[in-house]
Amino acid sequence: MTPNIDRTVLNNGIVLLVTENPTADIVAAKIFLRSGSSYEKREQAGLTHLLSSVLTKGCYGLSSMEIAEQVESVGASLGVDASSDYFLLSVKTVTSDFAEILELAAKILRSPTFPETQIELERRITLQDIRSQKEHPFTVAFDQLRHTMYQDHPYAMSALGYENTVSKLTRDDLVNFHHTHFRPDNVVISIAGRITSEEAETLVNSIFGDWQNNSPELEVLNFNQITVEPRQVLTAQQTQQSIVMLGYFAPGVFSADYAALKLLATYLGNGLSSRLFVELREKRGLAYEVSAFYPTKLFPASFVVYMGTAPENTKIALEGLHTEVDLLWQSTLEVDALQAAKNKILGQYSLGKQTNGQIAQLYGWYETLGLGINFDQEFQKQISDVTVKDAIAAATQYLQQPYISLVGREEAICSAVNVRGKS
């Protein structure tokens, strides 16, 4: 059952969503900004990640330690995250402390001080993370796949950034990004818990109502068309397994084919009963791990299938992944198999709306992407309405020209690259 959600637009442009849920004495708030790493310049890759790391390390009148003490003294939680399509500040606390913690969140959001010492500390941690990722074959395989597919599009860039870009970021860069993008008409506040719509609106108005927009006009993202030129990219590493990955260009969330592709990703690679797991791991013993994913994106997304396998199995693993994806458009998908995928995705979707934090996240995310809060019901209907014909048509349109990314021992991956087409 979908809870009742009230949507209000404040005078300064903030969109407020409130879901009253009195079953637990908890209130969660998700404060979204419609700006993520897609707004970074290429020479500033990693800017939003660094900003998210430093945002809670000091604000007007409060040090990093004082912020932490205020949050921990009431047993609340407060965190910041950044993605390609949005920026997020999350809070959760008992109802009686919500006003205090939301006011703190507003100070952090509106008047961060970005202390130089904290910037340098978080920069060092980020650089360590970037270096560490180079030791993980899956991350290397996915990074090189993303770079090859997206070319000059911002989705090509690593969320963490790169050593040569992160090392050059300055406090002024953080301040300028904050000044441009952190503005009330770019904010969605989604609240769920033991609070009425009237109480929430009064509280948010008292805390955020005086926030006015003094920033320059926001840039409208308008990217060049991506040229689809499937390629094979390889990185040789002395690893215990090969990572075999296929990537297909697929549409963003506003596409009529979105639901069908979500179902196909679930059918192929979601769980122990998925097609890839049963056929390639259980029956053939090829996979240490095997899965598929199709993330929700505003702009063109990627439909990815991958496998971790023994080096000596690299060639047949690549062929096996190809075969299983090709079967989606070469043969008729069984009605029972499609229904099982529907049951799985809808069941997992319902389980993802159990807590106030999950509820606030979901509706705030939909509003931020421009889908609106009614997409909760629309998505479930879209999934239910997908037919076998729809699924096969989507597979035929999008899942025929893969990019190939391989990471592993040189001999193993080089022997596999000519399995399909030219290298």
Tell me how far apart the alpha carbons of residues 3 and 142 are, in angstroms, rounded to a whole number: 37
* CATH code, residues 5-208: 3.30.830.10
314 contacts 406 by C-beta, under 8 angstroms = yes
Q: Report the Cα 53 to chain-centroid distance in Å.
A: 17
Tell me how far apart the alpha carbons of residues 122 and 9 are, in angstroms, rounded to a whole number: 35
Q: 341 burial class (0-12, 13-18, 19+ CB within 10 angstroms)?
A: buried
12 φ/ψ angles, rounded to the nearest 5 degrees:
-90, 5
Sequential DSSP letters for 141-190 = HHHHHHHHHHTTSGGGS-SS--HHHHTT--HHHHHHHHHHH--GGGEEEE
Q: 255 burial class (0-12, 13-18, 19+ CB within 10 angstroms)?
A: middle
Q: Strands across the sheet with 26-33, in order?
A: 5-9, 15-20, 187-193, 26-33, 87-94, 77-82
Dihedral of CA atoms 360, 361, 366, 369 in degrees, nearest 10, equals: 130
Q: Rg of the Cα trace of the chain?
A: 23
pLDDT tens per residue across span 214-248:
767 777 666 667 888 899 999 999 999 999 999 99
3-state SS assignment for residue 20 = strand
Tell me how far apart the alpha carbons of residues 355 and 360 are, in angstroms, rounded to a whole number: 9
Domain spans in the chain, listed from the N-terminal domain onward: 5-208, 232-414
Q: Which letter does DSSP use for residue 275 in this model? A: H
* Polymer length of the chain: 423
Q: Which two tokens stand for residue 378?
A: 């629309």
CATH 3.30.420.40 for domain 232-414, yes or no, is no
State the SS3 of 336-392. Answer: HHHHHHHHHHHHHHHHCCCCHHHHHHHHHHHHHHCCCCCHHHHHHHHHHHCCHHHHH
Q: In this predicted model, which residue has the larger pLDDT, 421 or 413?
A: 413
Please give the pLDDT value at position 81.
95
Residues contacting residue 57 through CB under 8 Å, at least 6 positions apart: 64, 67, 112, 114, 115, 118, 122
pLDDT at 255 over 90: yes
pLDDT tens per residue across span 123-169:
999 999 999 999 999 999 999 999 999 988 889 999 999 999 999 99
Q: Which letter does DSSP use for residue 252 in this model? A: -
Handedness of CA 102, 119, 65, 93 (dihedral sign): positive
State the SS3 of 279-342. Answer: HHHHHCCCEEEEEEECCCCCCCEEEEEEEEECHHHHHHHHHHHHHHHHHHHHCCCCHHHHHHHH
Q: Other CB atoms closer than 10 Å to residue 11's CB: what's the count?
A: 9
Please give the pLDDT value at position 149.
94
Q: How confident is the model at residue 420 (pLDDT cuts 50, 70, 90)?
A: very low
Please give the pLDDT value at position 214.
77
Check if 5-208 and 232-414 are the same fold: yes
**What angle, 0 to 180 degrees and rounded to 10, lies between the N-to-C axes of helices 258-269 and 388-398?**
90
Tell me how far apart the alpha carbons of residues 272 and 340 are, in angstroms, rounded to a whole number: 13
pLDDT tens per residue across span 353-376:
999 999 999 999 999 999 999 999
Tell me how far apart the alpha carbons of residues 395 and 84 are, in angstroms, rounded to a whole number: 26
Q: What is the mean pLDDT of residues 24-32?
A: 96
pLDDT at 260 over 90: yes
Please give the pLDDT value at position 369.
94
